[in-house]
A and B are shown apart, each in its own frame.
Chain A
Amino acid sequence: MQSVIVMFTVGLIAFSMFRFVGDPINNMVGQDTSEQERIELRERLGLNDPFLVQFGRFSLNAVQGDFGLSYKYRVPVSEMIAERMPATLELAFVAAILSLAIGIPLGVYTALKRHSFLSKLIMTTSLIGVSLPTFLTGIMLILFFGVVLRWLPTFGRGDVIELGSWSTGFLTASGLKSLILPSITLALFQLTLIMRLVRAEMLEVLRTDFVKFAKARGLPNRLVNFKHALKNTLVPVITITGLQLGSLIAFAIITESVFQWPGMGLLFIQAIADVDIPIMAAYLVLIAFFFVMINMIVDILYYAVDPRLRADNE
């Protein structure tokens, strides 16, 4: 129920903003098109109707999965988004795996060996990771690995293979190569965030009594650190990671436009420039939907990780 309200609100806010992005008509016709035809086009698209009528019509169609025709490409928006979604999801997925696979071990390491030189180096470098804007990181990676060394492609997705309606870049060499730079760019911020979070939580947990008792019992360090301590840091980590996965998808916009990655974010940013209202509306509603879904999954995961929550309900 809450989710429905959230999505409805997002739709409403998004829709009310579209009136400020400009007039779509000028992007849809050439300079020689007559005034009369422009007026007719506005009328046909229903742009002259009152705001609430337009929003009502949009919501009604959207509920049935119909987001209308793109103004610019003149094909159904749902098709376009479905075509682009695999690119974004694959990128976000790889980035999420990267940030978890590197972030958690690094976090644990820096928490356990707080005073080692390597820990300090990692912490300092991670500051750069948080503070550099994605755009800059992306361009710098392109310049170094793409232009100077020429190891990796500078843009695009490489060759993709169609598996039914899902186009994947995982199965070709050029597809995998193309994934490297954008996924690092996208993962960098999340990686440092997760690492710092895990470290802080670990430090907290390591000070607690049960860890001390475990050590006193003579359990091996490895078991204490990974079985008892790490597990107890995971609840906040899961919350944050879940939310961050949403933002990985949503904020892939910048990474996608730097790397000309043909995902939904690029489609959206192009749609803003073209005032392609149907695409913008569909994208925003979809992103809201992702966030809602991810939150739900995170809530469910809590039960799996934290036995206390299960106990309360019984």
Chain B
Amino acid sequence: MKLRHGLMAAAAAAAIAVAAPAVKAETFKYAFQGNLSSLDPHSLNETFLLVSLGNIYEGLSIYDDNLGIQPGLAESWETIEPTKWKFNLRKGVKFHNGNDFTAADVVFSWQRALSEGSDQKVRASKIKAIEVIDDHTIIIETPAPNPILTSDLVFIYMMDKEWSEKNNTTSATSASADNTGNYANLHSNGTGPFKVIDHKADVKTTFDRNTAYWSKIKSNVTKVEFTPIKEAATRVAALISGELDLVYPIPVQDWKRLDAAEGVKALAGPEARTIFLGMDQSRDELLYSNIKGKNPFKDIRVRQAFAHALNLEAIKKKVMRGAATPTGLMVAPQINGFVEELNTPYAYDPAKSRALLTEAGYPDGFEVTMDCPNNRYVNDEKICQAAVSMLAKVGVKVDLLAQPKSKYFGKVLSSGGFDTSFYLLGWTPGTMDSENVLSSLLSCQNKETKTGLFNLGNYCNPRVDELTKKVGSETDQAKRNAMIKEIFQIVKDEYGYLPLHQQPLSWGVSDRVTVSQRADNGLDFRYVVVNK
């Protein structure tokens, strides 16, 4: 019996070898610290998951390796009215099961992204209606003029209507109990260059090359194996031993080890994530401070004193091993709307800082508690510790409360009632556009308009709010960028936030492969090449 199987397998292998002699099997194996929790493209709005699924599923537009927007399942598009976009869908695209990709699938996928349990509602609600002209032409209507619609479309992945209906997965996989056994949670059927052949969440996922892919890609990989490895030391060992071709993230303190080892190297680059400190500027009395009856952070001189007390170069050198990019702006250079001349950090000047504190009426400083995650960003707790000691030098006694991210976010986010006075946070705008930062971090907290929900210290300036609204609907890029610049200027002049740096991406790569490191820490298989 066994022998017969073996023979059949050998025969099958021979048949394949004859049919496609040009393609040599190239397997690419990699590991990440987190896992692919679901294969459902609408289940969770998390960068790692979405970028990984981007190898299986695709949107109407897609990112290239520089996060530039390229035509994806839509061949081209044009704005016919400020709120109406015409998309010409790509012809001849097939899902992995062989079904054709048509306009009906777009409508279906959009509705699924809006369904109960979907975590993509924010993106999907940027579309008000979809009008089908014919099988390969649609008109998307937006609720308001939206200059960055195509960035939102990157992560609204297209699913096959027929397949979803057949497998009874017409709504997104939800965490609540009334939606068990969603087929798309463990199975997939996309249009992407790779398809999943085996998926055990948290153990291993195996991808095979989709030979019928609509576009030529750089990659020569035929099979990909993904394993989540939680322990950093184990990841590094697996890379050096040659079992894996790529692992990430690598602790920055391990770079030297990789350089010393043969056949592997550290691959570093700036991530599009900005790490910054925020201060409670809205309460009349800080929740965690020895100053009663008033809020020192309402005084711009105090915020200024904090800014000048922080030595970003020292944090870069000592904490981040030279691998961070100190910044003066709330967005990274990769983000649309970045302003080069505003990116100079606040100068390090402890003497000035002390003078400002004295002027503000705190010659002996004051006490405040700082909230900090300890397993979310690169060296997050160490950054906070460094900030604490720098602030101590100008007389401010900071009591550090560093906690795991689950505890930390439960406390400081809106669900915990913004329970913080001083905190460290990191942010990458999901759309790769400044507008997301303006509305989430820089606008006043407002539950009705759903803006400023991550503005934990409630920095608030009506002019910023007014401009942000205009930025949201201005379609003239030059005008729009001018307004973004004005906002960043205001926030900088008012010391609304204290940006620290862009943290480094830290990958470990074997010399056997060439990969492209995207600034959102994503791995796109399309650019993975096994060296000959």
| B227-265 vs A, Cβ < 8 Å mask (1 yes, 0 no) | 111110110011011110000000000000000000000
Interface presence of A58 (CB below 8 A): no
Binding site for B on A (CB under 8 A): 21-35, 37-39, 41-42, 44-45, 68-69, 71-76, 83, 139, 142-143, 146-147, 150, 153-156, 257-260, 262, 266-267, 269-270, 273-275
CB contact under 8 A between A71 and B202, given known A26-B415, A147-B240: no
Asked if B375 and A69 sit within 8 Å, CB to CB, the answer is no
Asked if B450 and A69 sit within 8 Å, CB to CB, the answer is no
| Segment touching A, from B82-90, B170-178, B471-479 | B170-178
Q: Using Cβ atoms and an 8 Å threshold, which residues of chain A touch B175?
A: 28, 41, 44-45, 69, 71, 74
| Segment touching A, from B39-47, B102-110, B335-343 | B39-47
| B200-244 vs A, Cβ < 8 Å mask (1 yes, 0 no) | 111110000000000000000000000111110110011011110
Interface presence of B180 (CB below 8 A): yes
Looking at the complex, which one of A23, A73, A150 makes contact with B415 (CB distance below 8 Å)?
A: A23
Asked if B406 and A74 sit within 8 Å, CB to CB, the answer is no
- Bound Cα distance A266, B242 (Å): 23
Number of interface residues of B (CB under 8 A): 60
Asked if B407 and A33 sit within 8 Å, CB to CB, the answer is no
Asked if A74 and B174 sit within 8 Å, CB to CB, the answer is yes
Q: Using Cβ atoms and an 8 Å threshold, which residues of chain A touch B240?
A: 147
- Bound Cα distance A139, B236 (Å): 11
- Bound Cα distance A143, B261 (Å): 12
- Bound Cα distance A42, B176 (Å): 9
Interface presence of B443 (CB below 8 A): no
Asked if A257 and B230 sit within 8 Å, CB to CB, the answer is yes
Q: Which residue of B lies closest to A148 (CB)?
A: B241
Asked if A258 and B453 sit within 8 Å, CB to CB, the answer is no
Q: Using Cβ atoms and an 8 Å threshold, which residues of chain A touch B454?
A: 31
CB distance from A229 to the nearest CB of B (A): 44
Asked if B231 and A260 sit within 8 Å, CB to CB, the answer is yes
Q: Name 10 extra pairs, CB < 8 A, besides A22-B405, A76-B181.
A: A23-B407, A45-B176, A69-B176, A75-B181, A75-B185, A139-B237, A147-B241, A155-B234, A262-B202, A266-B202
26 pairs, CB–CB < 8 Å, chain A vs chain B? A22-B406, A22-B410, A23-B409, A25-B415, A26-B405, A26-B413, A26-B415, A31-B427, A31-B440, A32-B45, A34-B122, A35-B414, A39-B415, A69-B175, A69-B177, A73-B201, A74-B185, A75-B180, A76-B180, A142-B237, A146-B241, A146-B243, A147-B237, A262-B203, A266-B202, A269-B230
Q: Using Cβ atoms and an 8 Å threshold, which residues of chain B touch A32?
A: 45, 122-123, 430, 436, 440
- Bound Cα distance A258, B238 (Å): 11
- Bound Cα distance A67, B242 (Å): 40
Q: Using Cβ atoms and an 8 Å threshold, which residues of chain A touch B407?
A: 21-23
Asked if B238 and A37 sit within 8 Å, CB to CB, the answer is no
Looking at the complex, which one of B201, B203, B404, B406 makes contact with A24 (CB distance below 8 Å)?
A: B406
Asked if A266 and B230 sit within 8 Å, CB to CB, the answer is yes
Q: How many A-B residue pairs have CB under 8 A?
A: 160
Asked if A260 and B119 sit within 8 Å, CB to CB, the answer is no
Looking at the complex, which one of B46, B186, B227 makes contact with A75 (CB distance below 8 Å)?
A: B186
Q: Using Cβ atoms and an 8 Å threshold, which residues of chain B touch A142?
A: 233-234, 237
CB distance from A101 to the nearest CB of B (A): 28
Interface presence of B79 (CB below 8 A): no
CB distance from B332 to the nearest CB of A (A): 16
Q: Using Cβ atoms and an 8 Å threshold, which residues of chain B touch A44?
A: 175-177
CB contact under 8 A between A260 and B227, given known A28-B44, A41-B175, A75-B185: yes
Which B124-151 residues sit within 8 Å CB-CB of chain A? none
Interface presence of B325 (CB below 8 A): no
CB distance from B309 to the nearest CB of A (A): 29
CB distance from B41 to the nearest CB of A (A): 13
- Bound Cα distance A41, B450 (Å): 17
Of A39, A143, A150, A155, chain B has the most CB atoms within 10 Å of the CB of: A155
Asked if A27 and B406 sit within 8 Å, CB to CB, the answer is yes
Q: Using Cβ atoms and an 8 Å threshold, which residues of chain A touch B200?
A: 83, 262
Asked if B231 and A258 sit within 8 Å, CB to CB, the answer is yes
- Bound Cα distance A65, B122 (Å): 37
Asked if A270 and B45 sit within 8 Å, CB to CB, the answer is no
CB distance from A44 to the nearest CB of B (A): 4
- Bound Cα distance A270, B33 (Å): 11
Q: Which residue of B lies closest to A259 (CB)?
A: B234
Asked if A154 and B234 sit within 8 Å, CB to CB, the answer is yes
CB distance from B472 to the nearest CB of A (A): 14
Asked if B447 and A35 sit within 8 Å, CB to CB, the answer is yes
Interface presence of B182 (CB below 8 A): yes
| B407-449 vs A, Cβ < 8 Å mask (1 yes, 0 no) | 1111001111000000000010010000010001000000100
Q: Which residue of B lies closest to A39 (CB)?
A: B415
Q: Using Cβ atoms and an 8 Å threshold, which residues of chain A touch B185?
A: 73-75
- Bound Cα distance A80, B493 (Å): 53
CB distance from A116 to the nearest CB of B (A): 38
Interface presence of B35 (CB below 8 A): yes
